[in-house]
Chains A and B, each alone.
Chain A
Amino acid sequence: MFWYKMISTGLLLALHGALQAQESLADSVRHLEGVTVTANRYQEVIPSQRLSGARLEGLNSFSVADAIRYFSGVQIKDYGGVGGLKTVDLRSMGTNHMGVFYDGIQLGNAQNGQIDLGKFSLDNIEEISLYNGQKSEIFQPAKDFGSAGTIYLRTRRPRFEEGKPLNLIAFARTGSFGLLNPSLLLEIKTGRSSALSLNAEYIGASGKYKFRYRKVLADGTTAWDTTAVRQNGDIGSLRLEGGANGFTEHSSWHAKAYFFDSEKGIPGAIVNNVWKRSQRQWDRNFFAQGSFRRQFSGRADLLANIKLAVDRMRYLNPDTTLLYIDNTFVQREAYASLAGKYSLLPDWDINLSADYQWNRLDASLQDFVRPRRHTALVALATALEWKRLKVQASLLGTYVFESVDGRGGEAPAPSGANDRREYTPAVFLSYRSRPEGPLLLRAFCKRIFRMPTFNDLYYTDIGNVALRPEYTVQYNLGLLFEKEYGRGMLSGLSLRADAYYNEVTDKIVAVPKGNGQFRWMMMNLGYVEIRGLELSANLALRPAESMQLGLGLNYTFQRAQDFSSPSDNDAEAGTWGRQIAYIPRHNGSAVANLNWKRWDVNYSFAYVGKRYHNSSNIRENLEQPWYTHDLALSRQLGLPKLKCKLSLEVNNLLDQQYDVVLNYPMPGRNWKMIVRVEM
């Protein structure tokens, strides 16, 4: 029954979508507190940011990565273009520390630890949430405790209007880069309490765009100025997704199968005399996952998850003037998890979860040892509410065993990785100024690590089997002010300020190995200290009748200092104590969406301050700040029985020419037209 209520409330919420701000301004879960027993009353204990509903829909975002750049504390490493790699770095700890969860189960990449968020379409994503530390929920699989920061992508859960057993949503996008992007979503009500959904999407693009590099002399006159077209950035990809979900009075389940197949060019770095490259990459990803949740007697809850995944990647360098490379990598993963929660007292819960994961990597590399990794995780967590104080604490035990191909078959991995035990704690506190008051003080500290990836450990010649895990410690202190107003122009306000200090120890870095032929070795040599401040404000306004205005502002300050090499302490060019590569001291974003009758206008602005592409912060390594203005206009067409929306987007309105990564030019002004039909 509660599911039905949840669904209808969800619909209501979607209607006043403009209110759904990033912070849980109109947090559906909080609204449902009285309705559902599984509601998360600890929601606000951990700093989180959320994009959902109209906010998410309104952003000119092509992929999940584009949307995430509006969060504070986040850096997107973007190699540009439709198919370019896009990864997320939270609070300067490095992309490998970010856990990305798709419908509650982690997306894995044991090979290099990086999840390309450019690959995930927003078409069927309903909500993106980002948590520092871990999700504000103790009732979760052990894996969810295992990252320094987590992103949850939640796909659309079917909802049906009264008497309507079928939803059909079709998208078509076209625009710059030769983009052709149709998608179809079908939702079928298969019973009173179960539904099926099918989603297919194709992305085709030539990936061509003009870019311009220019330098001036000290007096401001042009030294050189060159414009070219980005080549070999083409992509063709197909995504098929099928899901089923259902519920009974005390249980719910969902299952999903995902298939992604793509071929793309790798446009490469633009350097003197080289304006075109020919490397190609093929990806084929498949996974199937299921989740089951049941409630017993109002005090006990059980959650079971299972996943199987196969990822195949082929990289080809057909350019025979260079090293000819044709490598194929196949990763396999199996995962199972069981979590149980028990309420000892109405305000005191404990959770125990146990996960097991198996990974294997095969590669067509010379002398490759085909590593297998068995990971067992056990998490014990508790959540306690005492008057206005909420506490969560968790302890995660991780046990890793690896084996490799040796002489005469499989053998335990040499040193280091063959028998690893790590215990990592986390504590989160929040204190409300007065009961039901708008002001909340919160703090957390968490110690967690990331395992060296298979590439770090076993990549032929570069890998180092002696690597230890890379650890992070995070401390955070923050204030949250949240209030909704019944009358007046301001209908909701949320303000957030968080200050933090992180340490990354035993950071895995590549060091030169011997001389010549650019040989590298992975070593646990890095040490980084990060001090940061995040500020954000979200406002929901009603400037006039039937008009809603949502405003979001984010600002991040980060001082991320490289203390890896004490001897490299030259006053000008040394790296010791200097800002690490690609982390700006200042970055921020502003998002506004105005909804008036059938019209929607969205404006978003992202700013990344000056950065250096190396810890040696000299002028030669300086990267100029960049900022983009994106604008979108959309209108609902009122057709009977057919909901139709037309949108027009312009991105990088002022045609700024910039690199996020050195020598990888980003697109200038580009546009997109979207038709969305729902019936």
Chain B
Amino acid sequence: MERADGRRPGEIRIVRCERGLLSRADGSAQWTQGGTSCLASVAGPTQAPTSAKEDAERATLEVVFKPRAGLVGSTEKQYEALIRRSCEAVILAALHPRTLIQVVVQVVSDDGGVLACALNAACAALVDAAVPLRTLCAAVSMAQEAGPEGQLLLDPSAAEAAAAAAVGTFAYLPLLHSVSEEVSAAGDSISGGDLQLLTSLTRGRLTSDQLLDMVEAGRQGADRLAAFMQQAARQV
């Protein structure tokens, strides 16, 4: 069945990724999915300004999430924490002890799935800043329509998300092996069947099967996004 904008249920909106938009940041990227767009910038690794932000063994990551309008509330704090913890799983932080990596994500436009878009933007900006990463992380949002006939929608628009019985944002990573294996496997494609759930945030009521279907359908969507992200990362 077709969706309001003509997409199939498992279809992602048109994705664009532009890197190096900001000349003064160490890295930046704008990630756009349909009507939702986020601009992320990365500063660092730089010397940590205060001892509180300094870790003797690894780089500290700081994430600032700026909404399109309005004050920063607890939702933004939650997004910051989720983006930070997801990126921490990706960055090889031990290579830059005692430093600070700062990621600022600015929402440019929001038509649903802003957290997934922000996560993808942050990841692309980290690539642009040449921060050493062990892999790439890809995020998608999902919506479960209400009712017994309700479909599972990949990358819902704001209207679809508002009408849904439940929504979820999921970030995936390729299954991690030991560091030595990663080094030898560097350059290989990260896509493939071995993406697994790194971060999850859901809202609304789902059955167990619906949750598992959502995680699985999200994984397939993230697989395609990861391939695109990798392609974008190779472009100079």
Report if A and B associate in a common complex.
Answer: no
